[in-house]
Amino acid sequence: MDEEIIEISDSEREDTSSTSDMDVEITGVEVGSGAQVPPTQQQSPQDDVDVKMGITSAEEIVPKDAATIAEEKKKLGNDQYKAQNYQNALKLYTDAISLCPDSAAYYGNRAACYMMLLNYNSALTDARHAIRIDPGFEKAYVRVAKCCLALGDIIGTEQAIKTVMELNSQSTAVSGEQTAVQKLRQLEATIQSNYDTKAYRNVVYYLDSALKLAPACLKYRLLKAECLAFLGRCDEALDIAVGVMKLDSTSADAIYVRGLCLYYTDNLEKGILHFERALTLDPDHYKSKQMRSKCKQLKEMKENGNMLFKSGRYREAHVIYTDALKIDEHNKDINSKLLYNRALVNTRIGNLREAVTDCNRVLELNSQYLKALLLRARCHNDLEKFEEAVADYETALNLEKTPEIKKLLRDAKFALKKSKRKDYYKILGIGRNASDDEIKKAYRKKALVHHPDRHANSSAEERKEEELKFKEVGEAYAILSDARKKQRYDSGQDIEEQEQADFDPNQMFRSFFQFNGGGRNSSFNFEF
């Protein structure tokens, strides 16, 4: 299985440059942790026989013993190690071990090679095997400390450091590991406290520091991936989880994190399958139990809410969506859809302002949610907030340029233009479908209310305000009582400046009551 690329400590790199660390400076052949085998005796010339007679030297007919061959393999491995050809060195050390399986030095050398290949688990296995062969092998304990630190095993690191110091109280070989393991303990405490308070950004920050000290610690990697998923950074989390699964396909924690990523991207069914797989591997995996339950609950509530909405039971659907939103505040993808659905429900039951609020929350979670943007624009339009409607449609058009959105934007701009004119229907207090007779009755009523003579005894400010209203009532009647002007006004054309410049509200009033309230010489008196 391929190893991930992670850093090795500088102290270990320094070890590789020393031939003494590799046990290569020897006289003769090294066996076990220190036994020497004398070199092969050289043959005398008299022992040589004529090759033509088919007889070779005694050296050629006497095979080398296993220890001699193993030592040669080790020396070749050392050369490859120094040249940084670690794969070649690994094979040669393995050959040496096969020939002399009781040599602690050979296991120690292969452990060092594994460390340079960043295979800390295999390195740790070899270093511990070397210790079983030679319990006093100090360098093996040093390598155990380095491997345990890289793997995030604090207790294992501390135990190895303790043994090194017991073997050699003056040793400085693990001084770096002593400092690092203390810092790692402090980081773990900080990480746990932040995790407990759901401060996931802080957890990721401190885990990055921990991973610099323990680059091969799968526990730290997966905890970081879990927090990234909680933060909505599912792509990064998934990459970490998949990387760990390549190293260990039976890792319940890695499968849990992958399920978490599926859950937070609204793939609930696959998420449930992953949580169940994690529980198959580890029936006591508490987090998978929690998430499987939450996943099933959300899936069921979502489906029930949608069914109620489609059947027109809007208020019941509203309750379901509201309850579903309480399940997991971190699931932005699902919550944005639940909020949008609830906004739709609010439009069906006439709660336009609540619908706008829900759409606002959707767009806070996902600014690219086009359906929510269009729904909010429609609500703004219905609430006669035309400037907001235009702004939303313009944003929507930037996201997706379609003929439908272009038309909606044109309509919104037209409504905005109309809204900036005087609303003559509103001034007269009538609907847009009012008949001619209703328009006349409305004018008569409003004109009498706001006529200046009625307010002759009011303050100057009040008289000015009533005069303005009287004028607006006259303008409204002048437009809406004229079929041509009314048609132009309803179509949004500008007619006020040209055709209303010389408008006289008093003349309009006199004309109306002369032809609609009596003869030419009739007079009108207010009743107080």
Q: What is the DSSP string of 116-153?
A: HTT-HHHHHHHHHHHHHH-TT-HHHHHHHHHHHHHTT-
How far is the C-alpha of 78 from the C-alpha of 195, rounded, in Å? 46
323 with 410, same domain?
yes
- Burial group, residue 526, by CB count within 10 angstroms (0-12, 13-18, 19+): exposed
Q: Are residues 328 and 390 in the same domain?
A: yes
Tokens of 161: 């450091």
DSSP letter at 91 equals: H
Q: Are residues 341 and 428 in the same domain?
A: no
Statement to judge: residues 440 and 358 lie in one domain:
no
Residue 240 domain flag: no
The boundaries of the domain holding residue 370 are: 312-420
How many CA atoms lie less than 13 Å away from 41 in the CB half-sphere?
Answer: 6
State both tokens at 385: 């907030």
Asked, for residue 63, whether it belongs to a domain, the answer is no
Q: What is the pLDDT of residue 500?
A: 54
Q: Is residue 487 part of a domain?
A: yes
Of 366, 387, 420, the residue that ends a domain is 420
Model confidence pLDDT, tens digit, residues 140-195: 999 999 999 999 999 999 999 999 999 999 999 999 999 999 999 999 999 999 99
Q: Is the pTM of this model over 0.75?
A: no
Residue 30 parent element (H or E): strand 29-31
Question: Are residues 392 and 355 in contact, defined by beta-carbon separation less than 8 angstroms?
Answer: no
User: DSSP letters of 353-397?
Assistant: HHHHHHHHHHHHH-TT-HHHHHHHHHHHHHTT-HHHHHHHHHHHH
Q: Which residues neighbour 13 within 8 Å (Cβ) at sequence distance 6 or greater?
A: none
Residues 403-442 pLDDT 10s: 999 999 999 998 888 877 788 888 889 988 889 899 889 8
User: Which of 387, 420, 453 is the last residue in one of the domains?
Assistant: 420
Same domain, 361 and 430: no
SS3 480: helix
Q: Using CA atoms in the order 248, 128, 181, 168, what is the torsion angle rounded to 10 degrees?
A: -170
Cβ proximity of 383 and 353 under 8 Å: yes
Q: Strand, coil or helix: what is 37? A: strand
Residue entry with tokens 């590799």: 22
pLDDT of 34-71, one tens digit each? 333 333 333 333 333 333 334 444 445 556 788 999 99
Number of H helices, E strands in the chain: 27, 2
Residues 354 and 316 in one domain: yes
Claim to verify: residue 316 and residue 415 sit in the same structural domain = yes
Q: Which pLDDT tens digits describe the chain residue by residue (528 residues)? A: 343 322 333 344 444 433 334 443 333 333 333 333 333 333 333 333 333 334 444 445 556 788 999 999 999 999 999 999 999 999 999 999 999 999 999 999 999 999 999 999 999 999 999 999 999 999 999 999 999 999 999 999 999 999 999 999 999 999 999 999 999 999 999 999 999 999 999 999 999 999 999 999 999 999 999 999 999 899 999 999 999 999 999 999 999 999 999 999 999 999 999 999 999 999 999 999 999 999 999 999 999 999 999 999 999 999 999 999 999 988 999 999 999 999 999 999 999 999 999 999 999 999 999 999 999 999 999 999 999 999 999 999 999 999 999 999 999 998 888 877 788 888 889 988 889 899 889 888 888 888 888 888 888 888 888 888 888 888 888 888 888 888 888 777 766 554 554 567 777 777 677 656 544 444 444 333
Q: Residue 291: enclosing H or E segment and its boundaries?
A: helix 286-310
Q: What backbone phi and psi angles, to 5 degrees, belong to 31?
A: -125, 135
| Cα distance between residue 171 and residue 203, in whole Å | 35
Regarding whether 435 and 385 lie in a shared domain, the answer is: no
**CATH code, domain carrying 416:** 1.25.40.10
Structural domain ending residue among the three candidates 420, 454, 472? 420
For residue 56, how far is the Cα from the chain centroid? 75
C-alpha separations of 458 from 327, 434, 451, 454 in Å: 62, 33, 12, 9
Q: Which residues face 36 on adjacent strands?
A: 30
Instruction: Retrieve residue 283's tokens.
Output: 């029936």
In whole angstroms, what is the distance from residue 297 CA to residue 300 CA? 5
- On whether both 334 and 428 belong to a single domain, the answer is no
Q: Are residues 454 and 386 in the same domain?
A: no
pLDDT value at position 515? 59
Backbone angles phi, psi at 135, to 5 degrees: -60, -15
Is 452 within a domain? Answer: yes
Q: How far apart are CA 399 and CA 373, in angstroms?
A: 10
The Cα–Cα gap between 164 and 148 comes to 14
Query: Residue 65 CB: number of other CB atoms within 10 A?
Result: 13
Q: Are residues 481 and 393 in the same domain?
A: no
Which pLDDT score, from 0 to 100, does residue 334 have?
A: 94
| 328, part of any domain | yes
**Residue 366 resides in a domain:** yes
| Helix (H) or strand (E) run with residue 210 in it | helix 200-213
- Taking only Cα atoms into account, the Rg of the chain, rounded to an integer number of angstroms, comes to 44
Exposure b/e, 153-175, CB count within 10 A at least 16 = b: bbebbbebbebbeeeeeeeebbe
Q: What count of other Cβ atoms lies within 10 Å of the Cβ of residue 441?
A: 14
Residue 488 forms part of a structural domain:
yes
Structural domain tally of the chain?
2
Outline where DSSP puts E strands in 5-130: 29-31, 35-37
Alpha carbon of 527 to those of 154, 454, 524: distances in Å? 98, 9, 10
pLDDT, tens digit, 9 for 90 and up, residues 375-384: 999 999 999 9
First to last CA, the chain: 101
Does 374 map to a domain? Answer: yes
Residues 439 and 343 in one domain: no
CATH code of the domain covering residue 478: 1.10.287.110
